[in-house]
Amino acid sequence: MPVTHADDTTFDREVLQATVPVVVDFWAPWCGPCRMVAPELEALAAEHGEALKVVKVNVDEAPGVAGRYGIAGIPTVALFRDGRPVAATVGAKPRRAIAAELGLDAS
C-alpha cells in the first residue's frame, strides 16, 4: 500500500477509521532524522502490502493531531490498531528496528 499523508482534517479518516494497522510517521521537512526514516517506512509499507498502511503526518501542518498524541520529539513512529495507538518509537532507526519496536513481523 503506498504511503499516504494526513493532517488535522483527514487524520481520523486515514488512521483511526482504517481497517488495517496503521504506522504513523510524525515528521517535519526540516528534520534531518525524519528524512532518514522516510525510505525505511516506504520499504516497510512495500514489505507488508495491503496488510499495513503507512501515513505521514507533518507536525507543523497538523499541530492538533501532534498535540492530541503528545508528540514531543520527531521522528516519532507510532502503530495504531483499531483506532488506538498501541506502540511507538522515537528517533531515526533502520526498518528492522522500527518494525521490532512496533511489534510488527518484518520478515
What the chain holds in terms of domains, given with CATH numbers, is 4-102 (3.40.30.10)
16-60 pLDDT, tens digit each: 999 999 999 999 999 999 999 999 999 999 999 999 999 999 999
Check if 34 is active-site: yes
pLDDT at 107 over 60: no
Q: Which of 22, 24, 31, 66 is catalytic?
A: 31
Question: Does 76 score more than 50 pLDDT?
Answer: yes
Q: Which residues of 64-83 are buried (b: 16+ CB within 10 A; e: fewer)?
A: ebbeebebeebbbbbbbeee
18 as an active site residue: the answer is no
- One of 15, 18, 23, 34 is an active-site residue; which one? 34
